[in-house]
Amino acid sequence: QRVQIDGRSYAVYLDRDTARPRVQVIRLGYARRADHPAILVAMVQAAEQVGGCPLVAGSARGDSGVMTARLTC
């Protein structure tokens, strides 16, 4: 599913076929280095928006290009 947050696009993939669902968020497009901290926050928002529940604390891995995490639901 595609999500837009703060004018930036993200592709969010959700896998609910496991005991604890997994999510992958991919930033689409170029980002300046100064934008990376805000992008990481937006990636968490995108994951929770599509997944419908919060991320498992400490489960997020990756960078401002690709992030994977587990969901609490």
What is the model's pTM?
Answer: 0.92
Furthest C-alpha separation in the chain: 37
Helices marked H in the chain — which ranges?
36-51
pLDDT at 12 (0 to 100): 98
pLDDT at 17 (0 to 100): 84
pLDDT at 18 (0 to 100): 77
pLDDT at 16 (0 to 100): 87
Residues 6+ apart with CB under 8 A from 56: 20, 69, 70, 71, 72
Helices H, strands E: what count in the chain?
A: 1, 5
pLDDT at 73 (0 to 100): 87
Mean pLDDT by 10 residues, the chain (73 residues): 96 89 96 94 96 94 96 91
Residues 6+ apart with CB under 8 A from 58: none
